[in-house]
């Protein structure tokens, strides 16, 4: 009886996720599995390639591509100029939960993790450098211990990151149910050290921010196991 109840609960969770993401569900890898650490590693959904883009980090403005982040785990989001009070993501859970973990563990287990946020307007369009710098000032004012080396801001068209598809299903979906009418305003992508996509989740709620932390932990655990295996 308990097994049947658990199965029904899991099906309801999957149905709820499908209602949130609609056609983009294909790449939203059954989030209910994220709480179950019995599987050994995340699925690999292939290489993500980008042209060069502008990044504002601890070194100032740089022209980089995702290849420059190889050997680092990368979380990719968008960040609207209307933040912190009107965002596609759950801004304060993002800062007080996910980013706080990165900051407090930056010299330990999370030292190879970077958060890249593409700054866009409320409709998901690229912005000027001045608007991006205003967002950087906002982060300094609103985020405890904001570190531009850990949380880097990108000035680029977000489509170069999110224009992905598989089996005919696209990650970019235009629909009024999304913030600003486009899905990537709410999505968080997790890329491994080889720039391969390992997870995409909707970060519009605190619960999904926590699930992304769990998936990040699984990816880190995978690397720990691989490292230990090489040492044996």
Residue pLDDT, tens place only, 171-194:
999 999 999 999 999 999 999 999
The strand pairing partners of 153, in sequence order, are: 56, 117
User: Quick one: tokens of 161?
Assistant: 């990151």
Confidence of residue 226 (pLDDT cuts 50, 70, 90): confident
What is residue 16's predicted lDDT score, i.e. its pLDDT?
37
Cβ contact 152:57 at 8 Å? yes
> What ranges do the domains of the chain cover?
2-231
Whole-prediction pTM value?
Answer: 0.83
Instruction: Give the whole-angstrom CA distance, residue 21 versus residue 129.
Output: 31
* CA gap 230, 170 in Å, rounded: 37
Side-chain half-sphere CA neighbours of 101 within 13 A? 17
Average pLDDT over every residue of 200-204: 95
CATH H-level superfamily of 2-231: Glutaredoxin (3.40.30.10)
């Amino acid at each position: 009886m308990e097994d049947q109840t658990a199965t029904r609960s899991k099906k309801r969770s999957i149905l709820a996720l499908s209602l949130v993401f609609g056609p983009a569900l294909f790449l939203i890898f059954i989030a209910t599995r994220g709480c179950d650490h019995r599987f050994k590693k995340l699925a690999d959904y292939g290489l993500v390639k980008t042209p060069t883009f502008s990044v504002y980090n601890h070194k100032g403005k740089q022209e980089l591509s995702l290849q420059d982040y190889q050997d680092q785990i990368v979380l990719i989001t968008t960040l609207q100029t209307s933040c912190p009070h009107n965002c596609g993501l759950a801004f304060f859970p993002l800062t007080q939960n996910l980013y706080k973990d990165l900051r407090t563990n930056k010299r330990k287990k999370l030292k190879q993790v970077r958060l890249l946020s593409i700054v866009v307007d409320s409709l998901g369009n690229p912005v000027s450098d001045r608007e991006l710098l205003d967002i950087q000032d906002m982060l300094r004012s609103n985020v405890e211990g904001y570190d531009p080396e850990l949380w880097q801001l990108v000035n680029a068209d977000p489509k170069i990151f999110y224009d992905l598809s598989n089996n005919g299903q696209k990650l970019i979906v235009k629909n009024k149910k999304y913030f600003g009418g486009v899905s990537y305003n709410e999505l968080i992508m997790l890329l491994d050290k080889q720039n391969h996509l390992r997870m995409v989740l909707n970060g519009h709620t605190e619960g999904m921010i926590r699930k992304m932390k769990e998936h990040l932990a699984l990816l880190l655990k995978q690397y720990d196991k691989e490292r230990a295996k090489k040492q044996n």
